[in-house]
Amino acid sequence: MNSPVLLTLAAAAGAEAPPAWMQFLPLVAMVFVFWFLILRPQMKRQKELQAKIGGIKKGDQVLTGGGFLAKVIKVDDHYAELELGPNVRVRALKSTIADVIPPGGVAPAND
C-alpha cells in the first residue's frame, strides 16, 4: 500500500529545513553592500570636506551653501568673514561653506 503520494510526503517530512542563519544571509549581504557602496564613500567625502574647511585661510576662494563665490578675508574658530564683491563683506558660519575652490580654479569640463 505504498502509494507514490505517501512516499513523497514521507520524503518531504524527512527533509530538514535550512539552518536559521541561512535566512539572515541575504540581509547581511544587503547591509554589507549598502555600507561599502553608499555610507563609506559619503563618510570619506565628508571627512575630506571638513579637512578643507578646517584649513581655510585668508585669501582662499570658497563656495558658500547659498551658491556665492567669495574670497576669505578673516577666519576664526566658528566664523569666516567673506568678501562677495568690492566693499561687500559678510560674516558666515564655517559650517555653511560648501567647498574650497583651488587657487587655479576649476578646469572646464570639456578640456
DSSP 40-86: HHHHHHHHHHHHHHHT--TT-EEEETTS-EEEEEEE-SSEEEEEEET
pLDDT, tens digit (0-9, with 9 covering 90-100), for 57-71: 999 999 999 999 999
* pLDDT digits 0-9 by tens, 10-68: 555 555 777 887 888 889 999 999 988 989 999 999 999 899 888 999 999 999 999 99
Encoded amino acid at 78, one letter: H
> pTM of this prediction?
0.61
Confidence of residue 6 (pLDDT cuts 50, 70, 90): low
Residue 20 confidence (pLDDT)? 80
- Whether pLDDT at 108 is above 70: no
65 grid coordinates: 551653501
